[in-house]
Structure 1
């Protein structure tokens, strides 16, 4: 099978597996673990922050960031297509007890005028803005990258109102690769940031939340509250360390593979995909012209040996990673082309108008 559902399907390298076998087995929930501490320090260094806290998932690091930054009843401002708002089971309200306002945006970037108008202090009638949220790269925008100048503008507006900014940087290093900058250049425009080592970086598990020393101390308490403390987490941290040390520099290869995929889909039919929209390792394919829903497309492609994920009723999401090469992409495009020709409704007098 050619698995293009997500970069979370990546498997650890042999070096990672060996490091896991040799890792320390301290109790990170009790008196700490040497390997976990090393990973957290490395993550803080890569983001330019003072400290980090290792957690099982990106959803948890996002949730803990909310709990740590904001008091219950406050309002979070974020782009209306953000992963936190659309794919984290409502933890923002159900667990953190926060109101939220999804602001209109383009390719994952909140409209700055809308943000400026919506930021507000506590009054007799409103709790006020408690947190501003960015996502880079942006999942539902097809891996779009927020420009540094835009992030600087958002951070500046928030600071004018003394409101903290969190960055959901699940694919932070993909964003850095696409922009041609260091990850610290991105993370300087936020107060806290999280990133995953279990996506394109190929570690089996883990996300790290980074911020100031006092912020991370409070975050550790909230991590405990939501069940995120781990016992013998050294082996997982060992893989995470190698992910940061050995896998970041190869991410542009995944971006090139994604561009090849997008160009192939565009040749099948220009309505499916615009290669200019592909900045990192995510490709969104619009199949509405075929007259079939994305879920059926996913099932039919699986029958041809290609695994993809429906993003919505008319969109497929392809994600490239280190196990996908040019031959895999060409096979996937070929399978898509066969189905497209088969399912495309014939032209008639009505459709030609």
Structure 2
């Protein structure tokens, strides 16, 4: 499904953040009832926050500009300066959020490293600092689901991690940017995932087509403290209802079709696995992400990039020889077939 931008049509596999808002979202934005969110009287924002809390099974919610802001506010609200948090070495807060936890929250991360980027209960227990005046105090476990590598953490592991954290009186924050993808993969309700965290951040603009925004949910006390922090860093907005209106469409409509993105990702992965020279693990295609590499002796990376350009396909460059493709609302099966065609055209002739 080709999108049009600046008069040019293209297929965008770079991420699920590139989705343009649907026509229904544009109409909702146009007709949104608005107020001043800093005063707390924007009716559409209030509706979005109420619905978000209900869907995730929490007391309250806060509308923020991005997932990065949501994670920052959550960590800041859960911790005090000089404390330490436990997290994964590839988690978004470590790799992609400019060390905000150090610059603003002023806390130190203690990272856990596994090949699959999972965190297990024994990792948590080993990482918790003893009651020693020479060492920082451990106060928070920060986890992700789904993971940025496309894998989904099973509920039994989440439960075990939560119980271990509570054994040592740690709070738990979940970066659930793609929590609806995780729930679809696990065939469960998002509440079943969110129950194993004290706070959850999820994105409206990743795979759900909203042009703006993320939500954080938790207790009323937690959200009110986070709201004060949001204002401090310039996150207070005025007539935010126009953007919140898109979020409502995202929650009510777009979450119901995530399975279509997963189906297209699995279809693409299966077709790629048939190509001699493509290296792919089908077991790792659990959400809308497909990772693959080429055998350099059989497929030319440079030719593939040129083929994508020829057919107006946008792809992120390969990282250490590995490509990531993400399916979403604006990508259909025909687009996946075209990508496969580009790879076949890039095979080296013996």
TM-score (norm 1): 0.91
Displacement after TM superposition at 1:254 (Å): 0.4
**How far off its partner does 1:179 sit?**
0.7
In 2, distance between residues paired with 1:61 and 1:295?
Answer: 38
1:317 aligns with 2:324: yes
Structure 1: runs of 5+ lacking an equivalent: 347-353
Q: Is the 8 A contact 2:120 2:157 kept in 1?
A: no
Structure 2 residue 57 is matched with structure 1 residue 48: yes
**Match in the other structure for 2:25:** 16
Deviation at 1:41, TM superposition (A): 0.6
CA distance in 2, matches of 1:101, 1:293: 40
Unaligned 5+ residue runs, structure 2?
A: 1-9
Report the equivalent of 2:38.
29
* Structure 1 residue 275: Cα displacement: 1.4
Residue 135 in structure 1 maps to residue 134 in structure 2:
no
SS of aligned partner of 1:230? coil
Q: Is the partner of 2:90 in helix, strand or coil?
A: coil
Matched residue, 2:128: 119
The one of 49, 68, 86 aligned to 1:59: 68
Give SS of 1:110's match.
Answer: coil
Instruction: After superposition, give the CA deviation of every residue in 1:111-161 in whole Å (9 maximum; x if it has no partner).
Output: 43222211224420112212101111111x2x2111000000110110001
Q: Who is 1:306 aligned against?
A: 313
Shift in alpha-carbon separation, 1:78–1:235, aligned structure 2, 3 A: same
Q: How does 1:320-331 map to 2 (within 5 A)?
A: 320-331=327-338
Q: Say which is worse superposed, 29-38 or 263-272, in terms of deviation.
A: 263-272
Over the aligned positions, Cα root-mean-square deviation in angstroms equals 2.0
Structure 1 equivalent of residue 5 of structure 2: none
In structure 2, C-alpha distance between the alignment counterparts of 1:299 and 1:49, rounded to whole Å: 48
Match for residue 217 of structure 2 among 185, 188, 210 = 210
SS for the counterpart of 1:109 is coil
In the TM superposition, 1:331-342 aligns within 5 A as: 331-339=338-346, 341-342=347-348
1:240-298 deviation digits (Å, cap 9, x = unpaired): 01110011111111001001111122222465211121001011112364699979965
Of 263, 269, 279, 1:272 maps to 279
Q: Distance in 2 between matches of 1:199 and 1:30?
A: 28
User: Which residue in 1 is equivalent to 2:187?
Assistant: 180
Shift of the 38–102 alpha-carbon distance from structure 1 to 2, 3 Å rule, reads same
Deviates more, 1:2-11 or 1:101-110: 101-110
